[in-house]
Amino acid sequence: MATVKIIDPVTRIEGHLSVQVTLDAVGGVQQVTDARASGTLFRGFETILQGRPPTDAPHISERICGVCTVAQGLASVLALEAASGLTVPDNARIMRNILNGADFLHSHILHFYQLSLLDYMDGPARGPWAPTWSTDKRITGSAASTLFSHYQTALDMRRKAHELGALFGGRMPHPPSTVPGGFTTTPRAARISAAASLASELVSFVQGTYLPDVETVATAYSDYSAVGAGPRNLLAFGVFDLDTAGSSKLLRRGRAEGGSTSVQALDVNAITEAVTYSWYQDASPVGPSAGTTVPSYPKNTSAYSWLKAPRYSGKVYEVGPLARMWINGSYTRGISVMDRHRARAQEALLIAQAVQQWIPSLSSSGSVYNQYTVPSSASGVGLTEAARGALGHWVSISGSTLSRYQVVTPTCWNASPRDDKGALGALEQALVGTPVTNADEPVEVMRVIHSFDPCLACAVHVARPGKGATVTRLGTAC
């Protein structure tokens, strides 16, 4: 008989997530046969932004997420600039790239060492590293000691990534410097030389420590190169503009279906959001430019998340570093838990090296800002990437104030609930089929969840057991 397990809270993520899995034996192997991912936090940013001056938007938007703060602010100004047909000076474009690149590096390093590694080995025997599940920790002894020393080094390196960002951003997180029309900071010579030094350290760390450590884990857990595939549809908005128009990017825009390496064009109008299983007022799936965010709680017994369910042409897509590297033709090894870690680390190197090249291309005497004037009526879309995947802001301005604001975050794509057709979200699909050896310590489920690097600052949870299932609690009783 099936057993339902609820992991609540899911830790080592940003925000509030609960995951419910149904476990059953299939072909003699206990595995996940059904999954529900529930976002358990409602924040209502879309409502908060309505009625504000457009220049408030980047400051408020950044606070959607303390981990990928730069990308949120960037999506916001890209939407405002699109609404005004405004471009920015090269210096501003390059400083935005460096700032966002630094934020990606902080996030990727944090994700592997602080958020993921403890699914594969133990830390010191004190909080916050203990207590912990003991099931299937294959990295022990001196290998674990070495990796934990790298855990500490990684804390220093992610801090330095934020220092690199702050040299141009002003401070991290939540920098004030990305504004519609460009950037506020001037790339003074002292900043350029300090940034070059930090970028060099980061390249060395990613190349000499992060990438080898991912291989150490991937070798010890080679079975996880065949676990957690998910929908095998991959989508990227692309990021790091290499020209003024943004037509050329370091990581390009596109999508791929069914694990194909053939990349197709992306039509933003094919994106819709379903709310059938979300705590919002029911509506047919519509695009974000027409969407509303009216909370409805309690709603009915089938709703289980504060996340909406974004779909592309009605299909479920995965977003994130693997999707970006895949669409870019830079990584095609496979789609799995370990492939997500490998692609993320390889992307970190690609970005660190690009940042290293961008820094000396700044002109200390060049302009950083083109005058932005708030339009009385306009609308625009800002598409970019946060560390954990495709990010879009849809903005409408009326009477010189924000009349509509909709955000589709990466984790909405990855950790979405079922859609109007009942199709499971990407993480839910990736969980189904995952073998679980000890139902009381389902560390395998955590590995699949963490491979997506979920960030739920923009949503949350309540999961209910299905019919015919026995519900038991995880771990020891309180």
Partner 1 sequence: MQISRRLFLKYCGASSLVLASCGIDSRGPDGSLEQRDDLASVLPPGAGARVIWLTGSGCGGCSVSFLNRFSTTAPVSAADVLMNVAVVGFQPVIMAAAGDQAVAAAEAFYAGGEGTYVLVVEGAIPTAFNGAACVLWRDASGQDVTVLQAVQRYAASATAILSIGTCAAYGGVSAASPNPGAVQGLSTATGLKTINIPGCPPHPDWIVAGLAGVLSDAPMSLDAQGRPESIYGSNIHVSCPRNQGASTVFATTHGVDNQCLRQLGCRGPVTTAPCPSGLWNNGRNWCVDANGPCVGCTESSFPQVGLRTPV
- Site for partner 1, residues 365 to 394, rule: CB under 8 A: 367-369, 371
Tell me which residues in 213-242 interact with partner 1 (CB under 8 A).
none
Number of residues that bind partner 1 (CB under 8 A): 101
- Residue 270: both structure tokens together: 């094919």
- Residue 400 sits in the site that holds partner 1 (CB under 8 A): no
Which of 73, 101, 181, 291 lies at the binding interface for partner 1 (CB under 8 A)? 181
The answer to whether residue 295 forms part of the interface with partner 1 (CB under 8 A) is yes
Residue 457's closest CA among 58, 61, 55, 105? Answer: 61
> CB of 456: closest distance to partner 1 in angstroms?
9
**Residue 280, C-beta contacts closer than 8 angstroms, at least 6 positions apart:** 292, 293, 294, 295, 296, 299, 308
Amino acid at 370: N
- Residue among 169 and 231 whose Cβ is closer to partner 1: 169
Binding flag, residue 177, partner 1 (CB under 8 A): yes
Residue span 305-344 as binding mask against partner 1, x where in contact by CB under 8 A, dash where not: -x--------------------------------------
| Binds partner 1 (CB under 8 A): choice among 21, 105, 139, 167 | 167
Of 23, 71, 202, 446, the one binding partner 1 (CB under 8 A) is 446
Q: Classify residue 159 by its DSSP letter.
A: H
- Tokens coding 211: 């990438």
Cα separation of 261 and 248, whole Å? 20
Task: Rank residues 1 and 125 by Cβ distance to partner 1 and give the closer one.
Answer: 125
Shortest Å, Cβ 207 to partner 1: 22
- Rounded CA separation 410/412 (Å): 5
Ranges within 191-210 binding partner 1 (CB under 8 A): 191, 194
Q: Is 183 in the site for partner 1 (CB under 8 A)?
A: yes
Choose between 240 and 306: whose C-beta lies nearer to partner 1.
306
E strands of 124-280, at which residues? 178-179, 182-183, 234-236, 239-241, 249-251, 254-256, 271-274
| Measured CA distances, 93 to 29, 90, 100, 183 (Å) | 52, 5, 11, 8
Query: Does 88 participate in binding partner 1 (rule CB under 8 A)?
Result: no
| Pairing status of strand 14-15 against strand 178-179 | unpaired
Q: Which stretch binds partner 1 (CB under 8 A): 155-163, 345-353, 413-421, 423-431?
A: 155-163
- For 460, the 3-state DSSP assignment is strand
Which residues are within 8 A (CB) of 352 and not within 5 positions of it... i.e. 6 or more apart? 101, 105, 199, 202, 203, 206
List the interface residues with partner 1, window 101-130 (CB under 8 A). Answer: 106, 110, 114-115, 118, 122-130
